[in-house]
Amino acid sequence: KIDLSGCSLHGPIAREIGRLGALKFLNLERNRLDGEIPDEIGGCSSLQVLYLNHNRLRGRIPAALASCGALTLLQLQSNNFTGSVPPELAHCTALTELAVFKNQRLETKESKAEIIRRLPLCAMTTTHKPARGKAHMLSSLTVSLPHEGGVESNKHQNPGAVVFRSRAPQHPAPM
């Protein structure tokens, strides 16, 4: 477990992060990290929880995150990511929480429903049903896209953000 949240870290995430194959929990939120998430992060094959929110990270969200097959929680909000949510994340079948809102440069060509359909989600309390079911249940997905009919916007917390929640139990805190 590595928790360096709010430590005023700055600069890029070191490529050597990929050498930590047994790492299960990484919290680097609320720092001044910049640059791109290195593809080497895929070497963290045991990673279950990843907090990179509230930094200055940019570039594309790497498809290499799909190599972190045990990933249950991925917090990427409040950065400067470009592109879109990589479809390879559909391989993270344990993923129960994904947050990508407040990334002004994240493409919004896809509708919220399209993002939901291509991620392995199940039994959500929303009007949209995922195209494919898995054994697990999504507990939270937050995306910031323009409002569309049929999807509720959470205007009180974050205008433009949409929060989907299911009845799935929350994942236990990592040890």
**Contact criterion met (CB below 8 Å) for 89 and 64:** no
CA separation, residue 106 to residues 86, 100, 143 (Å): 11, 8, 10
pLDDT for 66 equals 92
How does pLDDT run across 59-115, given as a tens digit for each residue?
999 999 999 989 999 999 999 999 888 888 888 888 888 888 888 787 755 555 566
How does pLDDT run across 121-141, given as a tens digit for each residue?
432 222 233 334 433 444 555
Give the CA-trace dihedral at 78, 80, 84, 90, to 10 degrees.
-50
pTM of the model: 0.69
How does pLDDT run across 35-52, given as a tens digit for each residue?
999 999 999 999 999 999
